[in-house]
Amino acid sequence: MAAVPPSDAGDSLLSPSGAGRAPPRKSCASRLHLLLTAALAVATSYLLLLRTPLPAAPAAAVGIARPLAKLSKPAVILISSDGFRFGYQHKGPTPHIHRLIENGTSAATGLIPVFPTLTFPNHYSIATGLYPSSHGIINNYFPDPISGDRFTMDSHDPKWWLGEPLWVTAADQGVQAATYFWPGSEVKKGSWDCPDKYCPHYNGSVPFDERVDAILGYFDLPSDEMPQLLTLYFEDPDHQGHQVGPDDPAITEAVERIDEMIGRLIAGLEAKGMFEDVNIILVGDHGMVGTCDQKLVFLDELAPWIELKEDWVLSTTPLLAIRPPDGMSLPDVVAKMNEGLGSGKVENGEYLRMYLKDDLPSRLHYSENYRIPPIIGLVEDGYKVEMKRSNKCECGGAHGYDNAFFSMRTIFIAHGPHFEAGRMVASFENVEIYNVISSILKMKPAPNNGSASFPGTILLPSE
């Protein structure tokens, strides 16, 4: 069957997908209750910085950081290639990425995203070291249950974006930052006011080579104006992954193009004599899994047990998020849905399980925020949920699933004076990256969900 792009393809910055629906109206009494819950949630989310134990305690890097030849201060370029599933780096010839791997430090079995494995929650976790329950970006689209305001990928109001991203930490501590696109970078917080010179507004039509050249241009500035923290974002291969799934020649092509951009960056830095001075950290935000129309669960098939209204369902797939109206028993809704799903009478029902958010596995860290809807469904790898059956045939790719699925893993590849050459480390969660970059740039990190000891396990010490 020919692959047909799904209608909701893509949630990279370039190609937003609609996931949300209008929030139900709240009564005054329930608003007060929510307000109190919210205040408590915000307070506790900062106090309870819950941590997931590292998969393995890696040994420290061997040696010390190499001295800088040309730069007067350390520099980090943090690059995101959206939807770069772990393993894509072996799909075709990627000589430049492999040069970074061979002469740098990388996660042998990939970088673990946070749940939900979606673009905005993960980019902001990388930038803040916080789980979505703490940084507040709990989905790509969501309504605020108190105000009814809606967060979208164009929302730059600081009220949505909690925590302290790297560029704010930098600005507050007198370290120059430049963001050539990153979710949250256009939000004015602390001393960071997104200055034109260092913080271009997101424009998905800017060609990738132009973005790389802009990053290189910053290294021509006088030393006191040269940024030490730089971010660079590419929408690919997420864009292609949604359309054709992870196993398609279009992905191989997109990955080779990202490799070319890495090659362009390396060559540009080499021409300035700065390549060995700059720490390059190449990551993705999540992986990608193939989806097809035989792997669907239709919520309207649950009608004999419970009739789910469309406006209760805030997002369907792969993150099923439900907020029933006030007065309904939440445990009752979960129980009836699970009874139907387990009855054998709902197609693929056995691949979806519903939870009260407080009963989700604690490793997901997805309950301690009032913005998270009270009922969450976890669907098996590669399955999707829809309100009702339609005639469209769709095969493509998706992400947003449980972050324990290997298909959701992405890459961590780092090269530079602070990274030991040819070293592989165990997989770790992306909330560790904030402390790693803070350590390289000698910044005092804001409180976060990463481990204070992690940078010591992955970085070469300064002296």
Binding site for Zn ion (CB under 5 A): 82-83, 119, 238, 285
State the minimum distance, in angstroms, from the CB of residue 239 to Zn ion.
Answer: 9
In the bound complex, what is the minimum distance in angstroms from residue 183's beta carbon to Zn ion?
A: 9
Nearer to Zn ion, 65 or 413 (CB): 413
Helices (H) then strands (E): counts for the chain: 11, 17
What number of other Cβ atoms are within 10 A of residue 196's Cβ?
7
Write the DSSP symbol of residue 187: S
Give, in degrees to the nearest 5, the angle at Cα 165 between 423 and 126: 35
Residue closer to Zn ion, measured from CB, 82 or 236: 82
- With respect to Zn ion, which residue has the nearer C-beta, 12 or 169? 12
Please tell me the distance from the alpha carbon of residue 63 to that of residue 186, in angstroms, as a whole number: 38
DSSP state of 301: G
Q: Cβ(96)–Cβ(270) under 8 Å? A: no
Shortest CB 265 distance to Zn ion, Å? 21
- Give least dist CB 238 to Zn ion, A: 5
Non-local (6+) Cβ contacts of 110 within 8 A are 86, 87, 287, 406, 409, 410, 411, 412, 427
**Judged by CB, which is closer to Zn ion: 246, or 416?**
246
Is 37 an active-site residue? Answer: no
| Beta carbons of 136 and 15 less than 8 angstroms apart | no
- If one counts every other C-beta atom within 10 angstroms of the C-beta of residue 220, the result is 9
Nearest distance in Å: CB 410, Zn ion = 9
**CA distance readout (Å), 334 to 322, 326, 354, 378:** 10, 15, 6, 12
Instruction: Tell me the longest C-alpha to C-alpha distance in the chain.
Output: 71
Angle value at C-alpha 269, between 180 and 185, nearest 5 degrees: 15
Residue in the shown chain whose Cβ atom is closest to Zn ion: 119
Phi, psi (deg, nearest 5) at residue 431:
-70, -10
Nearer to Zn ion, 124 or 419 (CB): 124
Catalytic residue among 105, 119, 169, 231: 119
| Shortest reach from residue 286's CB to Zn ion, in Å | 5
Q: Which C-beta is closer to Zn ion: that of 54 or that of 153?
A: 153
For residue 297, give the 3-state DSSP assignment: strand
Active site residues: 119
